[in-house]
C-alpha cells in the first residue's frame, strides 16, 4: 500500500520541496507511485518555468538536450576510442537534424532531472557573468566568486575588496540578449564536451586519420554538422563565455596565496599586457585605471609564492592550464565552487599532475582566436550583430586578432569580460565604462611604461623625402641640385 496516496497533492509537493538530498527523492519515487507522479509534475512545472524565464526556443532546447544526452566515455577497455568517437558523431548528427527527444511529454524523469539541473547551473553562472560584466570596476568584480559558492571561498581572503553593489539579471535583458547569451553558454558547453582535453585527445571523429592530425580546437566543427557558417559575433560570444570561466578559475587560484595589495584598487591598477605563457606581467600605476582593464586569469598562478608554487606552478604553462580548466564547462565549475577550498586545492593538484604526465595539454592556441579560415569583406555597414559589439572599431580589432599578447590581447580580454557580444546597446554598463580603441590602449601602455622606466627623450630624425628614380638622375646630372637631393649627393660622393 502506498502511504503517500492518501495525502493531498499540496502536502506531497511540500515534501518534495523539503527533501534536499537527490538520492532521497529517487528512493521516495521508487517506493511510492504517488510521489513519482508528484515529482514528474513538479519537475515539469519547474522546467517550463526555466524555459519561459530564460527564453528557450526550440533550437536552444535542442542545444540543451545535446549537453544532457552527450555520450559518456566507457571504462570498458574493449570499448575503444573509435567507438566513443562514433557515438559522439551519431549524437551530433541527430542534434543537427533537431531530432533529440524532449523529455517532458514522455515523462522521462531521469532526463528531466538532468535538464532541470543544467538550467539551474546555467542560470547561476549567467547571472554571475552579467553582474561582473556590468560592474563599474572589472577587476574588483571578477576577483569575487559567486554568492552561491561554498562559504570557505568567502572567508579570510587577504586584500579582498568590497563586493560591488548593483543588480542585474536575466530579467534586465531583452529577449534577443537573453537568447544570445544562453546560446553562447550552451554552444560553449557542447564544444567543451566535444573537444575537452582527455588523456587520449579530443572526442573528434578521426575518419581514419591519426590522432595527431585531429585539430585541437576547431570552431567550425558544429557548423559543419549544421551546414551553416557562424557569424563573427556568435563566435565572439562563445569567446566571452570562455573568458568568463578563465577569470573564474583565476579568482579561485587567488584564494590560495592571497591578493597582492594594490592590485584591485582604483589608485593602482594592473594592465595585463603579456601573453599567458610569459613569466611576468607588466604593472602600470595609473593609466590602466583609465582603461579599467579586466582580470588576467593566469596572474595568480604565474606569481604564486605559496603552496601552489611548490605543487604545480612550473609543471605546465599557467595560461594553458587555465584554458584546460575553463574547458571543464558549467558542471566542473559548479562542482569546484560548491565543494569548498580544501577540495579545490586537491582538485588543482590532481588536474596539474594529470596534465603534466599526459598529453592533455595539446595545442590550444586557436582557442582564444577567431577561425583561421575566417574571411570577410570589412564593410562596416554590412556587419550585423549586437550594438555593443559594433561599438568599437571592429576592422582594427579583428585584423590584429592573431596578436593575442600586448595591447590587442588586453583589449580583447577586457571586452570579453564586459560580455560585449550580447547586449543590444550600452544601457546596462556604468557611466564610467568606455570601449577604448587599440590606439588609445597602445598610447596608455607607452605612457605607463615611460612612467615606470623614464628615459631621456631624443629628437626624432626628420623623415627622408622619397625620391623617384628620374629625380635622382636629374640631380646627379645637375650639381646645383645635389644639396636638394641627399641620394644624388651620396651617389656623387661614392663616384668621386
> Mind listing the pLDDT tens digit of every residue in the chain (496 residues)?
677 777 777 777 777 666 766 667 667 776 777 777 777 777 777 777 777 878 888 899 999 999 999 998 665 555 556 677 888 889 999 999 999 998 877 767 788 888 888 998 999 999 999 999 998 888 888 889 999 999 888 887 777 777 878 888 888 889 999 999 999 999 999 988 887 654 444 454 443 333 333 345 667 788 889 988 888 788 889 989 999 999 999 888 888 777 766 655 543 334 333 333 333 344 432 333 444 566 777 666 655 555 455 455 456 677 777 888 888 889 899 999 998 888 887 888 777 776 666 555 555 555 655 555 554 544 444 455 666 666 665 656 665 555 455 566 777 788 889 998 898 888 888 877 767 666 666 666 565 555 544 555 454 444 444 445 555 455 555 544 434 444 444 444 444 4
Flag whether 482 is in a domain. no
Flag whether 451 is in a domain. no
On whether both 25 and 68 belong to a single domain, the answer is no
On whether both 240 and 348 belong to a single domain, the answer is yes
Flag whether 74 is in a domain. yes
On whether both 244 and 391 belong to a single domain, the answer is yes
On whether both 221 and 245 belong to a single domain, the answer is yes
Type and span of the H or E element at 168: none
Last residue of a domain, one of 394, 420, 436: 436
Q: How far is CA 17 from CA 14, 27, 102, 320, 429, in A?
A: 5, 15, 24, 42, 37
On whether both 340 and 301 belong to a single domain, the answer is yes
On whether both 71 and 41 belong to a single domain, the answer is no
Flag whether 380 is in a domain. yes
Cross-strand pairs, 313 = 316
DSSP tag of 270: B
Cβ–Cβ < 8 Å for 344, 328: no
Domain boundaries, position 17: 9-47
On whether both 110 and 31 belong to a single domain, the answer is no
Cα(180)–Cα(237) distance, integer angstroms:
8
Last residue of a domain, one of 436, 455, 481: 436
Flag whether 229 is in a domain. yes
Cα(345)–Cα(253) distance, integer angstroms:
9
On whether both 25 and 95 belong to a single domain, the answer is no
On whether both 42 and 176 belong to a single domain, the answer is no
Type and span of the H or E element at 71: none
Q: How far is CA 248 from CA 173, 230, 380, in A?
A: 23, 26, 34
Number of domains present in the structure of the chain: 2
Last residue of a domain, one of 436, 453, 483: 436
What's the grid cell of residue 75? 571504462
On whether both 32 and 62 belong to a single domain, the answer is no
Cα(185)–Cα(191) distance, integer angstroms:
10
On whether both 277 and 246 belong to a single domain, the answer is yes
On whether both 17 and 78 belong to a single domain, the answer is no
Nearest to 436 by CA among 411, 455, 456, 462: 411
Amino acid at each position: 500500500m502506498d502511504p503517500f496516496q492518501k495525502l493531498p497533492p499540496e502536502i506531497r509537493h511540500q515534501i518534495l520541496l523539503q527533501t534536499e538530498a537527490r538520492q532521497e527523492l529517487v528512493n521516495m519515487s521508487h517506493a511510492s507511485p504517488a510521489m513519482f507522479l508528484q515529482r514528474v509534475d513538479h519537475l515539469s512545472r519547474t522546467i517550463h518555468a526555466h524555459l519561459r524565464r530564460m527564453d528557450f526556443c526550440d533550437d536552444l532546447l535542442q542545444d540543451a538536450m545535446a549537453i544532457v544526452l552527450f555520450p559518456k566515455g566507457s571504462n570498458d577497455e574493449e570499448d575503444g576510442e573509435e567507438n566513443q568517437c562514433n557515438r559522439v558523431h551519431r549524437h551530433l548528427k541527430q542534434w543537427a537534424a533537431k531530432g533529440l527527444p524532449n523529455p517532458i511529454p514522455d515523462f522521462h524523469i531521469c532526463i528531466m532531472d538532468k535538464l532541470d539541473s543544467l538550467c539551474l547551473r546555467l542560470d547561476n553562472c549567467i547571472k554571475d557573468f552579467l553582474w561582473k560584466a556590468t560592474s563599474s570596476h572589472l577587476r574588483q568584480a571578477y576577483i569575487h566568486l559567486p554568492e552561491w559558492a561554498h562559504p570557505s571561498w568567502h572567508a579570510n581572503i587577504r586584500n579582498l575588496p568590497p563586493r560591488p553593489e548593483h543588480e542585474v539579471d536575466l530579467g534586465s535583458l531583452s529577449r534577443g540578449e537573453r537568447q544570445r547569451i544562453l546560446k553562447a553558454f550552451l554552444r560553449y558547453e557542447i564544444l567543451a564536451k566535444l573537444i575537452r582535453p582527455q588523456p587520449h585527445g579530443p572526442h573528434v571523429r578521426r575518419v581514419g586519420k591519426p590522432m595527431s592530425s585531429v585539430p585541437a580546437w576547431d570552431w567550425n566543427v558544429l557548423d559543419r554538422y549544421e551546414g551553416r557558417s557562424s557569424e563573427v559575433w556568435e563566435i565572439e560570444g562563445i569567446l566571452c563565455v570562455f573568458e568568463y570561466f578563465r577569470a573564474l578559475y583565476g579568482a579561485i587560484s587567488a584564494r590560495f596565496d592571497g591578493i597582492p595589495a594594490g592590485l584591485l584598487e582604483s589608485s593602482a591598477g594592473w594592465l595585463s599586457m603579456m601573453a599567458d605563457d610569459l613569466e611576468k606581467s607588466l604593472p602600470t600605476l595609473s593609466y590602466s585605471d583609465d582603461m579599467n582593464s579586466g582580470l588576467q586569469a593566469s596572474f595568480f598562478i604565474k606569481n604564486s609564492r605559496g603552496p601552489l608554487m611548490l605543487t604545480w606552478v612550473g609543471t605546465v604553462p599557467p595560461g594553458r592550464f587555465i584554458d584546460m580548466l575553463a574547458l571543464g564547462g558549467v558542471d566542473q565549475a559548479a562542482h569546484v565552487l560548491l565543494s569548498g577550498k580544501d577540495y579545490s586545492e586537491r582538485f588543482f593538484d590532481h588536474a596539474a599532475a594529470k596534465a603534466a604526465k599526459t598529453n592533455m595539454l595539446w595545442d590550444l592556441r586557436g582557442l582564444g582566436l577567431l577561425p583561421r579560415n575566417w574571411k570577410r569583406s570589412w564593410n562596416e555597414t554590412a556587419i550585423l550583430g549586437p550594438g555593443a559589439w559594433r561599438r568599437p572599431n571592429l576592422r582594427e580589432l579583428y585584423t590584429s586578432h592573431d596578436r593575442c599578447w600586448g595591447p590587442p590581447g588586453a583589449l580583447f580580454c577586457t571586452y570579453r569580460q564586459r560580455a560585449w557580444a550580447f547586449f543590444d546597446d550600452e544601457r546596462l554598463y556604468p557611466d564610467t565604462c568606455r570601449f577604448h580603441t587599440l590606439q588609445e590602449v597602445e598610447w596608455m601602455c607607452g605612457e605607463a611604461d615611460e612612467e615606470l622606466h623614464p628615459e631621456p627623450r631624443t629628437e626624432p630624425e626628420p623623415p627622408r623625402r622619397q625620391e623617384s628614380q628620374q629625380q635622382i638622375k636629374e640631380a646627379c646630372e645637375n650639381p646645383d641640385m645635389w644639396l636638394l637631393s641627399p641620394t644624388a649627393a651620396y651617389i656623387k660622393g661614392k663616384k668621386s
